[in-house]
Structure 1
Amino acid sequence: MSKDLFEAARNAIGRCHAPYSQFPVGAALRGDDGRIHAGANIEVASFPEGWCAETTAIGHMIMAGGRRIEEVAVIAEKKVACTPCGGCRQRLAEFAGPDTKIHLCDMNGIVQTVTLGELLPYAFDSDALT
Protein backbone atom coordinates (compact mmCIF):
# COMPACT_ATOMS: atom_id res chain seq x y z
CA MET A 1 0.00 0.00 0.00
CA SER A 2 2.88 2.39 0.74
CA LYS A 3 4.55 1.76 -2.62
CA ASP A 4 2.15 4.20 -4.30
CA LEU A 5 3.19 6.89 -1.79
CA PHE A 6 6.86 6.22 -2.49
CA GLU A 7 6.29 6.49 -6.25
CA ALA A 8 4.37 9.75 -5.86
CA ALA A 9 7.15 11.21 -3.69
CA ARG A 10 9.85 10.06 -6.13
CA ASN A 11 7.95 11.56 -9.07
CA ALA A 12 7.57 14.85 -7.18
CA ILE A 13 11.36 15.30 -7.08
CA GLY A 14 11.25 16.01 -10.81
CA ARG A 15 9.16 19.11 -10.11
CA CYS A 16 11.25 20.62 -7.33
CA HIS A 17 12.93 24.01 -7.68
CA ALA A 18 16.18 23.83 -5.70
CA PRO A 19 18.72 26.03 -7.54
CA TYR A 20 20.34 27.26 -4.31
CA SER A 21 20.69 24.16 -2.15
CA GLN A 22 20.85 21.65 -5.01
CA PHE A 23 18.98 19.34 -2.60
CA PRO A 24 15.78 18.09 -4.30
CA VAL A 25 13.17 16.60 -1.99
CA GLY A 26 9.83 14.97 -2.75
CA ALA A 27 7.03 14.08 -0.37
CA ALA A 28 3.66 12.43 -0.67
CA LEU A 29 0.93 11.96 1.87
CA ARG A 30 -2.21 9.93 1.98
CA GLY A 31 -5.24 11.70 3.38
CA ASP A 32 -7.90 9.95 5.42
CA ASP A 33 -10.03 9.84 2.26
CA GLY A 34 -7.35 7.70 0.56
CA ARG A 35 -6.21 10.35 -1.90
CA ILE A 36 -2.50 10.98 -2.39
CA HIS A 37 -1.11 14.51 -2.45
CA ALA A 38 2.49 15.11 -3.51
CA GLY A 39 4.84 18.04 -3.15
CA ALA A 40 8.39 19.15 -3.89
CA ASN A 41 10.65 21.69 -2.24
CA ILE A 42 10.51 25.11 -3.87
CA GLU A 43 13.31 27.57 -3.10
CA VAL A 44 13.39 31.30 -3.69
CA ALA A 45 16.32 33.75 -3.83
CA SER A 46 15.52 34.95 -0.32
CA PHE A 47 16.88 31.68 1.04
CA PRO A 48 15.53 30.02 3.23
CA GLU A 49 12.12 31.56 2.59
CA GLY A 50 11.01 28.82 0.20
CA TRP A 51 8.90 25.88 1.25
CA CYS A 52 9.57 22.22 1.84
CA ALA A 53 8.14 19.25 -0.03
CA GLU A 54 6.01 18.22 2.95
CA THR A 55 4.57 21.75 3.21
CA THR A 56 3.67 21.71 -0.47
CA ALA A 57 1.94 18.33 -0.12
CA ILE A 58 -0.02 19.53 2.93
CA GLY A 59 -1.13 22.60 0.98
CA HIS A 60 -2.34 20.41 -1.89
CA MET A 61 -4.27 18.21 0.55
CA ILE A 62 -5.97 21.17 2.24
CA MET A 63 -6.84 22.80 -1.09
CA ALA A 64 -8.38 19.51 -2.25
CA GLY A 65 -10.63 19.44 0.82
CA GLY A 66 -8.59 17.02 2.94
CA ARG A 67 -7.99 17.54 6.65
CA ARG A 68 -6.17 14.48 8.08
CA ILE A 69 -2.97 12.69 7.10
CA GLU A 70 -2.83 8.90 7.34
CA GLU A 71 0.77 8.32 6.21
CA VAL A 72 3.68 10.14 4.56
CA ALA A 73 6.65 9.29 2.33
CA VAL A 74 9.73 11.54 2.09
CA ILE A 75 12.60 11.16 -0.36
CA ALA A 76 15.73 13.13 -1.23
CA GLU A 77 18.08 12.44 -4.12
CA LYS A 78 21.20 13.05 -2.05
CA LYS A 79 20.35 11.50 1.32
CA VAL A 80 19.19 8.06 2.31
CA ALA A 81 16.22 8.07 4.72
CA CYS A 82 15.77 11.84 4.71
CA THR A 83 13.54 12.93 7.59
CA PRO A 84 11.23 15.94 7.58
CA CYS A 85 12.84 19.08 9.01
CA GLY A 86 11.69 20.38 12.40
CA GLY A 87 9.23 22.85 10.91
CA CYS A 88 7.66 20.19 8.72
CA ARG A 89 7.40 17.81 11.66
CA GLN A 90 5.30 20.43 13.43
CA ARG A 91 3.23 21.09 10.29
CA LEU A 92 2.60 17.35 9.91
CA ALA A 93 1.56 17.17 13.57
CA GLU A 94 -1.16 19.74 12.86
CA PHE A 95 -2.87 17.31 10.49
CA ALA A 96 -1.71 13.90 11.76
CA GLY A 97 -1.38 11.97 14.99
CA PRO A 98 1.66 10.62 16.81
CA ASP A 99 1.02 7.14 15.36
CA THR A 100 1.06 8.39 11.76
CA LYS A 101 3.62 6.43 9.73
CA ILE A 102 6.43 8.40 8.10
CA HIS A 103 8.24 6.38 5.41
CA LEU A 104 11.84 7.47 4.90
CA CYS A 105 13.00 6.57 1.40
CA ASP A 106 15.94 6.43 -0.95
CA MET A 107 15.57 6.49 -4.73
CA ASN A 108 14.75 2.75 -4.76
CA GLY A 109 12.09 2.49 -2.09
CA ILE A 110 11.25 2.73 1.58
CA VAL A 111 14.32 2.39 3.79
CA GLN A 112 12.76 2.88 7.22
CA THR A 113 9.33 3.62 8.69
CA VAL A 114 8.96 5.63 11.89
CA THR A 115 6.03 7.34 13.56
CA LEU A 116 5.49 11.06 13.79
CA GLY A 117 5.59 10.66 17.57
CA GLU A 118 9.11 9.23 17.31
CA LEU A 119 10.20 12.18 15.15
CA LEU A 120 8.45 14.82 17.27
CA PRO A 121 7.78 13.43 20.76
CA TYR A 122 6.73 16.76 22.28
CA ALA A 123 4.71 18.34 19.48
CA PHE A 124 3.23 21.76 20.16
CA ASP A 125 -0.53 21.38 19.96
CA SER A 126 -3.66 23.48 20.31
CA ASP A 127 -3.99 22.56 24.00
CA ALA A 128 -0.96 24.80 24.61
CA LEU A 129 -2.93 27.77 23.28
CA THR A 130 -5.72 27.62 25.86
Structure 2
Amino acid sequence: MTDNPLIDTAKAVRENAHAPYSNFKVGAALRTASGAIHAGCNVENVAYPEGTCAEAGAIAAMAAAGEYGIAEVAVIADSPAPVPPCGGCRQKLKEFAMDGDVKVTMATMDGAIKVMTVSELLPGAFSADHMEKD
Protein backbone atom coordinates (compact mmCIF):
# COMPACT_ATOMS: atom_id res chain seq x y z
CA MET A 1 0.00 0.00 0.00
CA THR A 2 1.09 3.52 -0.76
CA ASP A 3 -0.25 6.83 0.46
CA ASN A 4 -1.91 7.27 -2.96
CA PRO A 5 -5.32 5.57 -3.25
CA LEU A 6 -5.25 5.90 -7.05
CA ILE A 7 -1.98 3.97 -7.33
CA ASP A 8 -3.26 1.36 -4.87
CA THR A 9 -6.47 0.93 -6.87
CA ALA A 10 -4.58 0.74 -10.18
CA LYS A 11 -2.17 -1.81 -8.71
CA ALA A 12 -5.02 -3.99 -7.44
CA VAL A 13 -7.03 -3.91 -10.69
CA ARG A 14 -3.87 -4.60 -12.70
CA GLU A 15 -4.00 -8.14 -11.33
CA ASN A 16 -7.29 -8.66 -13.21
CA ALA A 17 -5.81 -7.74 -16.60
CA HIS A 18 -6.30 -10.25 -19.41
CA ALA A 19 -2.91 -10.19 -21.11
CA PRO A 20 -2.16 -13.73 -22.32
CA TYR A 21 -0.45 -12.54 -25.52
CA SER A 22 1.82 -9.73 -24.33
CA ASN A 23 2.02 -10.75 -20.65
CA PHE A 24 2.09 -6.99 -19.98
CA LYS A 25 -0.54 -6.18 -17.38
CA VAL A 26 -1.55 -2.56 -16.87
CA GLY A 27 -3.89 -1.02 -14.31
CA ALA A 28 -5.39 2.45 -14.31
CA ALA A 29 -7.51 4.40 -11.87
CA LEU A 30 -9.02 7.84 -12.11
CA ARG A 31 -10.69 10.15 -9.66
CA THR A 32 -13.60 12.37 -10.63
CA ALA A 33 -14.59 15.74 -9.20
CA SER A 34 -17.04 13.96 -6.87
CA GLY A 35 -14.12 11.99 -5.39
CA ALA A 36 -15.27 8.68 -6.88
CA ILE A 37 -12.52 6.36 -8.10
CA HIS A 38 -13.00 4.25 -11.24
CA ALA A 39 -10.56 1.59 -12.39
CA GLY A 40 -9.72 -0.39 -15.49
CA CYS A 41 -7.20 -2.96 -16.71
CA ASN A 42 -6.00 -3.90 -20.15
CA VAL A 43 -7.95 -6.66 -21.88
CA GLU A 44 -6.25 -8.30 -24.85
CA ASN A 45 -7.86 -10.19 -27.70
CA VAL A 46 -6.35 -12.86 -29.95
CA ALA A 47 -7.02 -10.46 -32.84
CA TYR A 48 -4.30 -8.20 -31.41
CA PRO A 49 -4.46 -5.15 -31.16
CA GLU A 50 -8.25 -5.28 -30.84
CA GLY A 51 -8.11 -5.25 -27.04
CA THR A 52 -8.64 -2.31 -24.74
CA CYS A 53 -6.20 -0.29 -22.67
CA ALA A 54 -6.48 0.11 -18.90
CA GLU A 55 -7.08 3.84 -19.21
CA ALA A 56 -9.95 3.27 -21.66
CA GLY A 57 -11.47 0.75 -19.24
CA ALA A 58 -11.33 3.24 -16.37
CA ILE A 59 -12.92 5.93 -18.53
CA ALA A 60 -15.68 3.51 -19.57
CA ALA A 61 -16.33 2.66 -15.91
CA MET A 62 -16.54 6.38 -15.11
CA ALA A 63 -19.02 7.02 -17.91
CA ALA A 64 -21.06 3.95 -16.92
CA ALA A 65 -21.36 5.51 -13.46
CA GLY A 66 -22.67 8.74 -15.04
CA GLU A 67 -19.58 10.87 -14.53
CA TYR A 68 -17.61 12.61 -17.26
CA GLY A 69 -14.87 14.70 -15.65
CA ILE A 70 -11.44 13.39 -14.69
CA ALA A 71 -9.65 15.16 -11.83
CA GLU A 72 -6.61 12.85 -11.52
CA VAL A 73 -5.23 9.64 -13.08
CA ALA A 74 -2.81 6.86 -12.09
CA VAL A 75 -1.38 4.15 -14.35
CA ILE A 76 0.83 1.25 -13.23
CA ALA A 77 2.70 -1.54 -15.00
CA ASP A 78 5.49 -3.98 -14.22
CA SER A 79 8.13 -2.26 -16.29
CA PRO A 80 11.62 -0.82 -15.77
CA ALA A 81 10.33 2.75 -16.04
CA PRO A 82 6.89 4.34 -15.64
CA VAL A 83 4.79 3.71 -18.75
CA PRO A 84 2.84 6.62 -20.23
CA PRO A 85 -0.61 6.15 -21.78
CA CYS A 86 -0.61 5.32 -25.50
CA GLY A 87 -1.51 8.06 -27.98
CA GLY A 88 -5.16 7.02 -28.22
CA CYS A 89 -5.55 7.00 -24.44
CA ARG A 90 -3.88 10.40 -24.20
CA GLN A 91 -6.62 11.75 -26.47
CA LYS A 92 -9.29 9.96 -24.41
CA LEU A 93 -7.88 11.44 -21.19
CA LYS A 94 -7.86 14.89 -22.81
CA GLU A 95 -11.53 14.47 -23.74
CA PHE A 96 -12.55 14.01 -20.09
CA ALA A 97 -9.83 15.90 -18.19
CA MET A 98 -11.32 18.79 -16.25
CA ASP A 99 -8.43 20.92 -17.52
CA GLY A 100 -4.96 20.54 -19.00
CA ASP A 101 -3.38 20.51 -15.55
CA VAL A 102 -4.95 17.18 -14.59
CA LYS A 103 -2.17 15.13 -13.04
CA VAL A 104 -1.27 11.73 -14.51
CA THR A 105 0.87 9.62 -12.16
CA MET A 106 2.70 6.81 -13.93
CA ALA A 107 4.17 4.13 -11.68
CA THR A 108 6.01 0.82 -11.77
CA MET A 109 5.43 -2.17 -9.53
CA ASP A 110 8.86 -1.42 -8.01
CA GLY A 111 7.76 2.03 -6.87
CA ALA A 112 9.24 4.33 -9.53
CA ILE A 113 6.95 7.27 -10.23
CA LYS A 114 6.73 9.94 -12.91
CA VAL A 115 4.09 12.67 -12.87
CA MET A 116 3.00 14.70 -15.87
CA THR A 117 -0.10 16.68 -16.77
CA VAL A 118 -2.50 15.77 -19.55
CA SER A 119 -1.28 18.85 -21.46
CA GLU A 120 2.35 17.70 -21.13
CA LEU A 121 1.42 14.23 -22.39
CA LEU A 122 -0.53 15.60 -25.35
CA PRO A 123 0.70 19.04 -26.41
CA GLY A 124 -1.29 20.67 -29.18
CA ALA A 125 -4.23 18.33 -28.56
CA PHE A 126 -7.17 18.20 -30.93
CA SER A 127 -10.33 19.45 -29.22
CA ALA A 128 -13.93 20.38 -29.96
CA ASP A 129 -12.72 23.97 -30.43
CA HIS A 130 -11.09 22.85 -33.69
CA MET A 131 -14.49 21.89 -35.06
CA GLU A 132 -16.20 25.23 -34.41
CA LYS A 133 -16.94 27.44 -37.41
CA ASP A 134 -16.89 31.22 -37.31
Q: TM-score, normalised by structure 1?
A: 0.94
> Deviation of residue 79 (structure 1)?
3.9
1:73 is aligned to: 74
Is 52-61 or 102-111 further displaced after alignment? 102-111
- The amino acid of 1:59's aligned partner reads A
Q: Is 1:83 aligned with 2:84?
A: yes
1:39 is aligned to: 40
Is 53-62 or 76-85 further displaced after alignment? 76-85
Structure 1's unaligned 5+ residue stretches are: none
SS in structure 2 at match of 1:44:
coil
2:109 is aligned to: 107
Q: Which has the larger radius of gyration?
A: 2
Find the aligned partners of 1:2 and 1:41 in 2 and give their Cα distance.
24
- The amino acid of 1:10's aligned partner reads K
In the alignment of these two chains, the number of paired residues is 130
Could you list the per-position Cα deviations for residues 89-119 of structure 1 after superposition, in whole angstroms to 9, with x for gaps in the alignment?
0000000021000001111446121111111
- The amino acid of 1:99's aligned partner reads D
> Deviation of residue 45 (structure 1)?
1.0
Q: Is 1:15 aligned with 2:21?
A: no
Find the aligned partners of 2:110 and 2:28 in 1 and give their Cα distance.
14
Q: TM-score, normalised by structure 2?
A: 0.92
SS in structure 1 at match of 2:72:
strand
- The amino acid of 1:46's aligned partner reads A
Task: List structure 1 runs of 4+ shifted beyond 6 angstroms.
Answer: none
> Deviation of residue 78 (structure 1)?
2.5
1:119 is aligned to: 121
- The amino acid of 2:47's aligned partner reads S
Q: Among all aligned residue pairs of Structure 1 and Structure 2, give the percentage whose two residues are the same amino acid.
A: 48
Could you list the per-position Cα deviations for residues 43-69 of structure 1 after superposition, in whole angstroms to 9, with x for gaps in the alignment?
111110110000000000000011100
Distance 1:74 1:123, change over 3 A: same
> Deviation of residue 29 (structure 1)?
0.3
Find the aligned partners of 1:33 and 1:14 in 2 and give their Cα distance.
26
> Deviation of residue 80 (structure 1)?
2.2
